[in-house]
Amino acid sequence: MNRWIVCLAGTGINLVLGVLYSWSIFVVPLQDKFGWSRADLTWPFSVSILTLAIVMVPAGKWQDKVGPRLIATVGGILMGLGYFLSGFITSLPALIFTFGVMSGAGVACAYVTPISATVKWFPDKRGLAAGITVSGFGFGAFVFTPLARKLIVAVGVMTAFKILGIIFLVIVVALAQILRDPPPGWKPEGWEPPTPSEETAPATEDHWTLGTAIKTWAFWSLWLAFLGNAGVGLMVISLIAPLAKTLGISQEIAAFLIGFLSIFNGFGRILAGWLSDVIGRRAAMLVFFSTTTIMCISMAFTNIAGTTLGYALALMIFGASYGSNFALFPAVTADYFGTKNMGNIYAGVFTAWGFAGFVGPRFIKARLLKSIPQKLIAHGIPLEQANLIAYKTAFKVAIGLGLLAVVIAFLTKAPKEAS
């Protein structure tokens, strides 16, 4: 089989899975229909992120044993049914289950399989292949947000859920049939494995399992670096709309800029993957993570976002850097621990994203964006100024996460042997 077909099928699956980032388009229609608060409606999305991170671990182990096709098929069915059944719910707990648990589990199964399969087909271009595959997830919101919006306007939010569920089920299940692992011992013609070093796994890579990996500094260095850089990106994503409002940017321009971030989220994955093949994974991590941290410093201590152009530049950098995580960490996980059990081990590393996604935005909104303005307003500071101070405080927290990612990336290196 042509390995690029596997890569493109995986990209198509990720394009569908990326609709997860379009959750905000459903919030207002659900508020209007059921009277739930915006805070209530953060739960289905938060639970879907947590479920995705948790279920990826057993899904990755399962796919390492039976191959990617079956697991991706199960993922497509679960995701499609989750959306479809969301069109029948009448209570918030039901929506949390259908969208948060069912769809989240489906995304977990369908996400880990194309990454693992593609990395196995491209030992010579792991970064680029992983970047192309996961770029679909980054572009997904840009593609499906307009479709979801049109469906909601045309047929209502509940019917939109049903139609999208059917579309997602058909596309993911169809593309899943293309996925497969290469034959044992396969390698590209003329390519020879690199000599083991600080950036590559030792010859005993097949001995690595999640259980042995978590006993190493290599695993936890990847986990902490992922936590830091993903934490920054997720924090920024949660702040885009309210920060734009505080800065006086219109809703129309803010909506355009959110799409702008989605595009660079996708391209950042491809760029980071390609760059890591050229200069090495650690060097690429340092480039992207340092750039993120510098932008956090600029947002916290300057008025760079005070103009639409400056705000767009910031979103471009944050989008590309956030996207880089999803190309760099699968590739470096395969470098460090081999590909035999890569699905399960990478799923373990990926729990850092789930932790950051579930805890980070909720902490920012509850502790910083709510408590700080209340205290400042009580001391006579105007609302808009108080909100701006709160946002700058949030970016100071982001600086800490960015520095964590930079320092840990500098210190990371491949494990010497399985414990």
Q: Compute the radius of gyration of the chain from its Cα atoms.
A: 21
Q: What is the pLDDT of residue 235?
A: 81
Q: List alpha helices for 97-216, DSSP H.
A: 104-121, 126-155, 157-176, 210-213
Instruction: Tell me the CA end-to-end span of the chain in Å, nearest whole number.
Output: 36
Structural fold of domain 203-419? Growth Hormone; Chain: A; (1.20.1250)
Whose tokens are 């290196």? That residue is 413
Q: Which residue has the higher pLDDT, 233 or 374?
A: 233
Q: 1-183 — its CATH code?
A: 1.20.1250.20
Condensed to tens digits (0 to 9), the pLDDT of residues 335-373 reads 999 888 999 999 999 999 988 877 766 666 656 666 777
Q: What is the pLDDT of residue 390?
A: 78
Q: Is the pLDDT of residue 251 over 80?
A: no
The closest alpha carbon to 180, from 62, 56, 67, belongs to: 67
Contacts (Cβ under 8 Å, ≥6 apart) of 286: 406, 409, 410
Condensed to tens digits (0 to 9), the pLDDT of residues 283-312 reads 999 999 999 999 999 988 988 877 888 888
- In the DSSP assignment, the letter for residue 183 is P
Separation CA 81–CA 19 (nearest Å): 15
Separation CA 75–CA 374 (nearest Å): 44
Q: What is the pLDDT of residue 345?
A: 95
CA atoms within 13 A on the CB side of 187: 9
Range(s) within the chain of domains with CATH label 1.20.1250.20: 1-183, 203-419
Whose tokens are 């050229």? That residue is 278
Secondary structure (DSSP) of 201-270:
--TTGGG--HHHHTTSHHHHHHHHHHHHHHHHHHHHHHHHHHHHHHTT--HHHHHHHHHHHHHHHHHHHH
Mean pLDDT lowest among 186-195, 284-293, 307-316, 404-413 = 186-195
CB atoms within 10 A of CB 185: 5
| Amino acid found at 46 | S
Band (pLDDT 50/70/90 cuts) for residue 197 is low
Mean pLDDT lowest among 44-53, 196-205, 403-412 = 196-205
Band (pLDDT 50/70/90 cuts) for residue 391 is confident
